[in-house]
Structure 1
Amino acid sequence: MRPLWGPPKKKKSKSPMNLLAIAVGIKQKKNVNEIVNKFQLADFAIMLFHYDGNVDGWRDLEWSNSAVHVSAVNQTKWWFAKRFLHPDIVAAYDYIFLWDEDLGVEHFHVGRYLSIIKKEGLQISQPAIDAGISEVHYTLTAREINSTVHRKAVNLRGPGHRCFENSMEPPCTGFVEMMAPAFSRESWRCAWHMIQNDLVHGWGLDFMLGYCAQGNRSENIGVVDSEYLIHLGIPSLGGSAGGKTNAEIDRLAAMRGTVDESDGRTAVRRASFMELNKFKNRWGKAVGEDECWVDPFHQPLHPTQTYHH
């Protein structure tokens, strides 16, 4: 941000080096305030994407006037990111943190986190999730005790995927979830182009981000264990679906041929699944049509291995 006239205020000797962007609703104001206060404002620009249209409700927070506020009702984090985080616009930042609002940051220190990902050479990363008290979708992102960083999951079994010692595909390695990713400037330029303009939920991106890792995804993508988060798993867009868990919502969405649009949260989840299939189909079509495409990560399957995207 720049002043309307004159030079920048003297107390800011340099422009922020990094960006924190969060999709927010006023109901999570307290939690978002805790997240923002964890980030060193001297080194971070703050951008809030207001999916409920309520901007004025944040004015009483002391950092609010220094943040960039973008408002569009019922839009998702990825819809905002595609339109307002163009790589040329955010090229001044070393790292772009694109976070959800329902993250507990009691055990997270951003200065130490930045130091770790720079030392480890991580182009795409995320803080680990405390599996003991959090909603964890993929075991790879769960915190490993007495570890600083991990890049791989072994002996992992989960819905639709299995990981072996020699597994080299997401979500066994080269993978982060979409709730709290941090991108280097270079990796974000690639990831932004991967976001589809008309697909707003972002499902499927996580499995393909390895192509944006600026090299070996198994080395350049990692989960930071020593600076970790709590994933509260609070439903936002579409409401609470009558108290149903996400797993229950997903089962209903997969089973129903039609969705009761009055059940907003269930409709949102089903739309996410539909967009996932569209994204996968588009990727497959693009690969098939590009005669020059060579998959840098293609490896023949072990006879006992199966991968499911």
Structure 2
Amino acid sequence: MSMKTFKSWRWLPRKRSALTDTGAQGTHGFRVRQLPFMAVVCTVMLFIVYRTTKYQYRHTEIETQLQPFDGIKESTPGMLNSLPHGIIHSRSDLELRSVWLNTRSKVNIPSHHNLLAMAVGIKQKHNVNTIVHKFLTENFTIVLFHYDGNMEGWSDLEWSNKAIHIMAQNQTKWWFAKRFLHPDIVSMYDFVFLWDEDLGVENFHPGRYLDIVKSEGLEISQPAIDPNSAEIHHKITIRKRTKKFHRRVYDGRGSLRCSSASHGPPCTGWVEGMAPVFSRAAWCCTWHLIQNDLVHGWGLDMKFGYCAQGDRTEKVGVVDSEYIIHQGIQTLGGSSVKKTPNLKESRKSQHPAFDLRSWIRRKSTQELRIFEERWVKAAEEDRGWVDPYKSNNRWFVFQPYTRGKKAKQNK
């Protein structure tokens, strides 16, 4: 009896050791089975973190491109953090504020809802006066960009003190617009008219024009050009007498053929840079499209359709019932007269006289080429951007439609 008891006690540690080994093996087996599951969970979590970080980076990059001025605020937080949040007004407008009348009760009520901006010279004072009178009847805000440095010559007009006058020597309307019509400044206006000064408005009424634009959902538009105008560049702008508006042109003649299969400018989805009209959203996009250093703006109108807030063949159009006359007057740079210090010096030096108009045209052509190259480069580098008009977005050089002896001479 005692012998059996001794054997039982002797084998007890072995049993415990066996049990322990079995338990360890079971636990080890459980841990082995856990490893693949934990690896999958960690992989999924790492993928989620990666995708979230990439999305946030991409979102920040897009916001920086669309709202570049926000980066200035973020880079210098101390400039804003020292102010109470409620006192900050991030936007402004072009409405005049009286320095002596009490307007506190009306300070938040905009009186004007649309804007007319023109680059003007004193030689076109009479024509500009006619244009402005048309727009004042519809309560437009008027902005004049004086490119010839003569601002005092306008003070005798009864509406002059109600307009905004900005002066800079020998600058184009695109140069002015980029610097003084920032989207935050003009955000209160429904439509922005950025016009040339040599337009006849006898058959144009801005109120009726806007009624058509709004009813047809045109984000970018222009009034049609009277066929009897001194200068017509593109056939799509010619007035169609039997229509209220049109979005495309059909022309089977010449090197540029426009048919129902045409999906891009200048056959459809296009207006010229002479008298464009932009909605608020379209102007915000167009302002960013304007290049700061390319002042002539050649090539911009070929890209307006990208700012149409939708399909450019539907959102861009020409209004026929409210039309204008393009007088084709060369302003910036003067006429095509060759300029020299004086006749004696010219003969003495035997150098050809300096043709300012020709020089401007060469510079415009150079800027067009630069703009084309920038567009191609930007499209290639922005891998996340999808071109909605990729199939028909090839840049091409075409002879614009011109009508009339004067137009051909100016060309």
Q: Structure 1 length as normaliser, TM-score?
A: 0.88
Match of 1:17 among 91, 113, 136: 113
Count of residues in Structure 1 that have an aligned counterpart in Structure 2: 289
Please tell me whether residue 267 in structure 1 is matched to residue 378 in structure 2: no
Match of 1:280 among 354, 372, 380: 372
Q: After the TM superposition, which residues 112-261 of structure 1 pair with which residues of structure 2 at under 5 Å, given as runs?
A: 112-157=208-253, 161-242=256-337
Contact 2:228 2:325 in 1 (8 A): no
Calculate the aligned-residue CA RMSD, in Å.
2.3
Q: Normalized per residue, which structure has more helix?
A: 2
Structure 1 CA distance, aligned partners of 2:178 and 2:99? 27
Structure 1 CA distance, aligned partners of 2:193 and 2:391? 31
SS of 1:80's equivalent? helix
- Give per-residue Cα distances to partners, 1:15-59, cap 9 Å, x unaligned: 100000000000000000000011135521000000001001000
One-letter identity of the residue aligned with 1:230: I
User: Which residue in 2 is equivalent to 1:294?
Assistant: 386
Q: Which has the higher contact order (CA 8 A, sep 6+)?
A: 1
Q: 1:73 to 1:106 in 2, by over 3 A?
A: same
Structure 2 CA distance, aligned partners of 1:11 and 1:132? 46
- Runs ≥4 residues deviating over 6 A: 9-13
One-letter identity of the residue aligned with 1:291: R
User: Which residue in 1 is equivalent to 2:77?
Assistant: none
Structure 2 CA distance, aligned partners of 1:120 and 1:65? 35
Q: After the TM superposition, which residues 53-64 of structure 1 pair with which residues of structure 2 at under 5 Å, given as runs?
A: 53-64=149-160
Structure 2 CA distance, aligned partners of 1:63 and 1:229? 22
User: Which residue in 1 is equivalent to 2:404?
Assistant: none
Please tell me whether residue 101 in structure 1 is matched to residue 197 in structure 2: yes
Q: 1:198 to 1:279 in 2, by over 3 A?
A: same
Match of 1:40 among 136, 149, 154: 136
Please tell me whether residue 65 in structure 1 is matched to residue 161 in structure 2: yes
- Give per-residue Cα distances to partners, 1:155-212, cap 9 Å, x unaligned: 2545x63212210010000100001000000000000000000000000000001000
Q: Which is greater in Rg?
A: 2
Q: Normalized per residue, which structure has more strand?
A: 1
- Residue ranges of structure 2 left out of the alignment (5+ in a row): 1-95, 339-351, 398-411
Structure 2 CA distance, aligned partners of 1:284 and 1:3? 48
User: Which residue in 2 is equivalent to 1:257?
Assistant: none
Contact 2:138 2:207 in 1 (8 A): no
Deviation (angstroms), 1:261:
7.6
Deviation (angstroms), 1:61:
0.5
One-letter identity of the residue aligned with 1:200: V
Structure 2 CA distance, aligned partners of 1:8 and 1:134? 47
Structure 1 CA distance, aligned partners of 2:392 and 2:335? 43
Match of 1:49 among 136, 145, 157: 145
Structure 1 CA distance, aligned partners of 2:379 and 2:308? 19
- Give per-residue Cα distances to partners, 1:46-98, cap 9 Å, x unaligned: 00000001001000111100000000000000000000000000001000000
Deviation (angstroms), 1:150:
0.2
Structure 1 CA distance, aligned partners of 2:230 and 2:379? 37
Contact 1:139 1:153 in 2 (8 A): yes
Deviation (angstroms), 1:299:
2.7
- Give per-residue Cα distances to partners, 1:206-247, cap 9 Å, x unaligned: 00010000001000000000000000000011111139xxxx
One-letter identity of the residue aligned with 1:277: R
Q: 1:98 to 1:113 in 2, by over 3 A?
A: same
Contact 1:97 1:183 in 2 (8 A): yes
Structure 2 CA distance, aligned partners of 1:62 and 1:219? 40
One-letter identity of the residue aligned with 2:198: D
User: Which residue in 1 is equivalent to 2:127?
Assistant: 31
Match of 1:85 among 169, 173, 181: 181
Structure 2 CA distance, aligned partners of 1:140 and 1:133? 14
Deviation (angstroms), 1:145:
1.1
- Residue ranges of structure 1 left out of the alignment (5+ in a row): 244-259
One-letter identity of the residue aligned with 2:118: I
SS of 1:161's equivalent? coil
- Give per-residue Cα distances to partners, 1:259-285, cap 9 Å, x unaligned: x78211111111111100000010000
SS of 2:304's equivalent? helix
Q: 1:50 to 1:300 in 2, by over 3 A?
A: closer
Structure 2 CA distance, aligned partners of 1:134 and 1:10? 49
